[in-house]
Amino acid sequence: MYRKNNDLDIQTFSEKMLEWSKKNNRSLPWKDFRDPYSIWISEIILQQTRVNQGLPYFLSFIERFPNVESLAAASEDEVLRAWEGLGYYSRARNLRKAAIQIMDGYKGVFPKTYKDLLSLKGVGPYTAAAIASFAYEFPYGVVDGNVKRVVARIFGYTDDIDASSTVKEIQTLVHEAVSYVLPSAFNQAIMDFGAMHCLPRNPGCGDCVFQDHCFAFENNMVSTLPFKAKKIKRQSKSIHMAVYTDGTEWVITQENSVSFWKGLYTFPMLSAEQQLNIESYELLDTMEWNLTHRKLTLYFYKIDKNRLFCEENQGWTIVKSENLRKFALPRPLRLFLNKNSCNLGLKENNDQQGNIDR
């Protein structure tokens, strides 16, 4: 692996990036943060969530858990409930585990070295670099999807952008780039450049500060870089759920068998034997839901709560309608309840948070 564009030296690249940033500042609430805790929370949220969707979640999460101590002291259920709607719930579980690590291993003081940051549960090179540079001005460059796209186009990386060898090369380049300028300024600038200017489709090549130095532009490869190997096809999965309710009480269960909803509360899932008699249940609704690697088809069947004790009910929880919002549910289940609240005798349950595909 090597970069094909050797006309642009790394220092000039850094300086031009900051030149662009001064004229194209993007206002974000966490941009001027120096508190490592707030930076950490914002970066974890933004790993799989667009800025405009993640902002209200960030604000509410910080309000609920304002520091490491409060997050470490919370139960997993509390953290998952605060995270509901963001998806990729392993992020929330890892946040809590890392907070406990900080309390136990660092006496509640956020780690101040890149190596120690990497030791935290759920913290990889990107997040560690973000915290190290934004909180402490250590010379570590961030590499996310936007950064990989920018570097691949400007410097001519034509191999699979997600291959470990490519990522390593780009990481080395960006680490060098932050050594010439203020690390936090460069990292924010290159992420903004990828999010606002060097877009996946229809990038602003016509007035780009790198137009005379961009490998992709000079070689008519803007639309083909970065190159990504063929995506893995999403696997289809059908999930049949039993909605046990009399309109005032509901049956839910904490999920442990389905990995992508582990720890959340769902309606009980119909067993294979129950699905043989599926025509005896009333089908309330169906829903298509896309995850990163799965395409789900959800079926919701209404079953009289009086039949509950004829079914296998170990580990089930009966909750009153007004208490449903105290439990962390997968996003599609919350939307199902909102949509069918009137039909099911549930008081209207307005969801104030935006729809995030998780």
Which positions are annotated as active-site residues? 43
* Residue 347 CB contacts under 8 Å (≥ 6 apart), including other chains: 321, 322, 341
* Residue carrying structure tokens 């605060």: 82
Tell me how far apart the alpha carbons of residues 120 and 43 are, in angstroms, rounded to a whole number. 14
Instruction: Give the number of other Cβ atoms within 10 Å of residue 197's Cβ.
Output: 18
Task: Centre a 10 Å sphere on the Cβ of residue 118 and count the other Cβ atoms it contains.
Answer: 15
Contact 294, 239 (CB under 8 A): no
Rounded to the nearest 10°, the torsion over CA 106, 107, 111, 117 is: 50
Task: Give the E-state strand segments of the chain in sequence order.
Answer: 235-245, 249-254, 265-266, 282-290, 294-304, 316-320
| Cα–Cα distance for residue pair 351/85, rounded to 1 Å | 10
Are the beta carbons of 200 and 149 closer than 8 angstroms?
Answer: yes
Query: What token pair was written down for 310?
Result: 């004829």
Task: Report helix, strand or coil for 243.
Answer: strand
Question: In whole angstroms, what is the distance from residue 139 CA to residue 229 CA?
Answer: 31
Q: How far is residue 60's CA from residue 30's CA, in Å, rounded to a whole number?
A: 14
Taking the CB of residue 245, how many other CB atoms lie within 10 A of it?
20
Structure tokens at 192: 């903004």
Burial class, 304, CB count within 10 angstroms (exposed 0-12 / middle 13-18 / buried 19+): exposed
Identify the three-state secondary structure at position 283: strand
